[in-house]
Amino acid sequence: MKVWAEKEMSNYRRLHSAKIPCPKPILLKSHVLIMEFLGENGWPSPRLKDTQLSERRMRQAYVQTILILRHMYQRCRLVHGDFSEYNLLWHDIRFYVIDV
């Protein structure tokens, strides 16, 4: 469990330093990873699965997701093992990748 959390922290640091939209990693203590909260008024930002985007927004979101994947690989040499509608948060009119 601890090794997994250390790897995820490392991946978040790599993404964040490469300016790829993800929650900012804050602290790792034992197997607990603390990250920036994405949401408003105590409510978390929705996953892509839970959003209702217009057709225009969905097209913009598609381009964003392609760029996220491309930049993850080109800048960080990372491939997301579960890049899905469950691991993208819609926050401030853009997607943030989680669970890396």
Catalytic residues: 82, 99
Q: Count Cα atoms within 13 angstroms, Cβ side, for 95.
A: 27
Burial of 17 (0-12, 13-18, 19+ CB in 10 A): exposed
